[in-house]
Amino acid sequence: MELNYVYLLRCADGSLYCGWTTDPEARVAAHNNGRGAKYTRSRLPVKLVYMEAYEERHEALSREWHIKRMKHEAKEKLVCDPK
C-alpha cells in the first residue's frame, strides 16, 4: 500500500509551505528544481521540516487543508514539537 504524506517545507525566506505527496523525497527535489508549487519557485531552496503519513489519500488531503488554514504560530509549533 502506498502511503500519502502531508509535509511542511521551510523556504529560504523563512516561510512555510504545506503540501501532500506519495513520494516526499522526489517532491522536495521537484520543489528545489523549480518544478514544485509556484509559491516555492521564488523562495528556493526549500527544506523538509515536518511530515505526517496517512494510508488514505483523503485523510492526507484533509490534513493538508487543515494545516493550510492554521496560523503561522501553530505551524511553527508542529515543526518544533511534532505530536
* Average of per-residue pLDDT values in the chain: 95
Q: pTM of the full predicted structure? A: 0.93
Q: In this predicted structure, what is the pLDDT of residue 57?
A: 97
C-alpha cell of residue 1? 500500500
Q: In this predicted structure, what is the pLDDT of residue 81?
A: 77
C-alpha cell of residue 48? 523538509
pLDDT one-digit tens code per residue, 46-83: 999 999 999 999 999 999 999 999 999 999 999 997 65
Task: Note whether 27 and 36 are within 8 A (CB).
Answer: yes
Count the residues in the chain.
83
Q: What is the rounded distance in angstroms from the CA atom of residue 12 to the CA atom of residue 20? A: 20
C-alpha cell of residue 46? 526549500
Q: In this predicted structure, what is the pLDDT of residue 82?
A: 62
Q: Domain-by-domain residue ranges, the chain? A: 4-80
Fold of 4-80: GIY-YIG endonuclease (3.40.1440)
Q: What is the rounded distance in angstroms from the CA atom of residue 59 to the CA atom of residue 74? A: 20
